[in-house]
Amino acid sequence: MQAVPRPLELRLLLPLVILVPLGFAVTHIAQTGTLDIGPMGIAVGYVGLMLGAHVALRLVGNRGDQLLLPCVATIGAIGIIMLNRLPQNLLGTDVFGVRFGMATTQLLWFAVGLTAMVLLAGRFRDDGVLRHYKYTWALAGTLLLVITFLFGKEVNGARLWIDVGPVAFQPGEAIKVVLVVFIAAYLAEKRTLLAGASAKVGPISVPPLPYLLPMIAIFVIVMLVVVISRDLGTALLFMGIFLTMLFVATGRRSYVLLGLLLFVAGSFVAYQLFGHVRVRVDNWIDPFVDPSDRGYQTVQALYAFGRGGLFGEGLGQGLPTISGHLPIPALPTDFIFAAVAEELGLIGAFALLALVMCLVFRGLRTAILAKDDFSAMLAVGLTVSLGLQTLIIAAGNVKLVPLTGITFPFVSYGGSSLLACFVVVGLLLAISHRSVVDAQIEGRGP
């Protein structure tokens, strides 16, 4: 391990040194008319963490993509500024009797996440652990899901949480990474078989089922547990990740179409069978039918978008709170995008989406440059998990698809989600590092 320079990363992180404290100051002046020094600690802490992560990446000798961390840091900055500007007692954690407010809690999770990211980026050199034990991983992940479903803590009608000491954790977030690892390992191994062979049923070419069966079996089990746990957003996300990776591995659009058809059919059945699915879909079709009850959050989110307009109402000047309480109860998690769009306007919402796109494209670039199929598939899966998650929740906020409760990566409040996202970035940095190093070795080769 040898320290390496990461000059581009540093240069891109430096603006945050000014922008994040400025954002905190602006929201505070807008809300209270005075400049409160207290929360400024969170701003300084945030910038410090990001710069610290940069230094740590240099120290562990990671030569990976230098745009990933700045993208994440800027996206996260928008998130923490928004979270800090909301009533702090809304969410938060009690750890051994000490009460942490929402922004403080989120900052702590940033610290945990960044540590995980740096460790993975620096230490993760041998992917064999992931590749060879793919079934073990998948099995362990599924087991964790089942345990959560059976013994977890129920929040809002879904049992997705498990208590680990003083901290509640959402195993669904971890499964996301594990699932990607499994599918990547499987597809990398069977890719040539899958791409070559295909059976034909009439004019339609269907996937060679025998080759796919083990993977589909695992995937179906995971999906079943997720669906039974009523975690619709995660189900949609997993389906998207699965189909995208299948497409990248085989290049066959027909597989994706077939999968989508099955998904639509399944959704239709779910609509008929489950009340909570019906509520979501009906709300999506017209939330204004019942704007004060069932359609309430969706309608309020649309109002927030409308109020934002082109340039936004300004940081701290929006209406996320009405006489002290939130019009949208799930604002810090499911609807943070609406809050950003309200205060920063269409311009700000576009900027946020552009940052995510930048992150996604750097991730896809990492996949293209990867030296082996597994790394490439892993990078694609991890990247797509971030991209699709953003798309699903953003599209849900703007009523393009039915709303499902998943987080906006790096922006929404939530420790498990944040940690999982940083694990993704850490793995991407590791993959990127290896391809850079390999390229250099080849360049120097005989």
Partner 1 sequence: MIATNIRRLSVYLVLAFASVSGALVWWQVLDAQTLAARQDNPQVIATRRSLPRGSIFDAQGRLLASSAVTDGISRRTYTDPAFTHVIGYASLRYGATGVERAWDDLLTGRTDPNPLRDLLNDILARQPDPHDLTLTIDQRLQDFAAAQLGADRGAVVAIDPRTGAILAMVSTPSYDATGFSGDPATAAAAFDAVAAMADNPFLDRGRQGHYTPGSIMKVLTTAAALDTGVITPQTTFADQPQQEVDGFVVNGFTIREHDLGKVTPALWDLSSALQVSSNIYFAHVGLELGADRYLDYARRFGFCSGLRLGDEGRSLPVDASYVSAQADGGCAPFTDTVELASAAFGQARVSVTPMQMALLAATIANGGLVPQPYVVRDLRSHAASGAVTDMILETYGGGRGNAAVSSQVAAQVRQAMIDAVDGPIGRLYAGAGAVARFGISGVETAGKTGTAERGPGLKPHSWFIGFAPAQEGAQPAIAIAVIVEGGGTGSGHAAPIGGAIMAEWLKLIGAGA
**Under the rule (CB under 8 A), what is the footprint of partner 1?**
191, 195, 244, 247-251, 291-292, 299-300, 302-303, 305-310, 319, 322-323, 327, 341, 345-346, 349-350, 353, 356-357, 360-361, 364, 367-368, 373, 376-377, 380, 384, 387, 391, 394-395, 398-400
Helix or strand holding residue 16 (H, E): helix 7-32
SS3 content of the chain, % helix, strand, coil (to 5): 70, 5, 25
What whole-number distance in Å separates Cα of residue 232 and Cα of residue 226? Answer: 7
| Smallest separation, CB 12 to partner 1 (Å) | 21
| Smallest separation, CB 204 to partner 1 (Å) | 20
Helix or strand holding residue 289 (H, E): none
- Taking the least distance from each CB to partner 1, the nearer of 174 and 245 is 245
199-201 and 98-100: which strand pairing?
unpaired
**CB within 8 Å of 392: residues ≥ 6 apart:** 233, 236, 237, 240, 401, 404, 406
| Smallest separation, CB 61 to partner 1 (Å) | 27
- Taking the least distance from each CB to partner 1, the nearer of 44 and 346 is 346
**Residue 390 near residue 356, CB atoms below 8 Å:** yes
Helices 373-397 + 171-196 axis angle, to 10: 120
Q: Could you give phi then psi for residue 156, rounded to 5 degrees?
A: 55, 40
- Taking the least distance from each CB to partner 1, the nearer of 4 and 195 is 195
Can you tell me whether residue 432 is helix, strand or coil? helix
| Smallest separation, CB 233 to partner 1 (Å) | 15
Helices 68-85 + 336-369 axis angle, to 10: 170
- Taking the least distance from each CB to partner 1, the nearer of 141 and 405 is 405
What whole-number distance in Å separates Cα of residue 400 and Cα of residue 392? Answer: 9
- Taking the least distance from each CB to partner 1, the nearer of 60 and 349 is 349
| Smallest separation, CB 381 to partner 1 (Å) | 11
- Taking the least distance from each CB to partner 1, the nearer of 158 and 394 is 394
| Smallest separation, CB 322 to partner 1 (Å) | 5
| Smallest separation, CB 395 to partner 1 (Å) | 5
- Taking the least distance from each CB to partner 1, the nearer of 178 and 377 is 377
**Residue 380 near residue 364, CB atoms below 8 Å:** yes
Q: What is the dihedral of CA 81, 85, 89, 95, to 10 degrees?
A: 20
- Taking the least distance from each CB to partner 1, the nearer of 52 and 291 is 291
**98 alpha-carbon distance from chain centroid:** 28
- Taking the least distance from each CB to partner 1, the nearer of 73 and 367 is 367
| Smallest separation, CB 203 to partner 1 (Å) | 22
**Angular region, 322: left φ>0, alpha ψ -120 to 50, beta rest:** beta
What whole-number distance in Å separates Cα of residue 67 and Cα of residue 61? Answer: 16
What whole-number distance in Å separates Cα of residue 71 and Cα of residue 116? Answer: 17
What whole-number distance in Å separates Cα of residue 297 and Cα of residue 331? Answer: 9
Can you tell me whether residue 12 is helix, strand or coil? helix
- Taking the least distance from each CB to partner 1, the nearer of 66 and 390 is 390
At 74, which amino acid appears? T
What the block records as the tokens of 326 is: 């939130």
What the block records as the tokens of 309 is: 């307009």
| Smallest separation, CB 319 to partner 1 (Å) | 5
| Smallest separation, CB 227 to partner 1 (Å) | 23
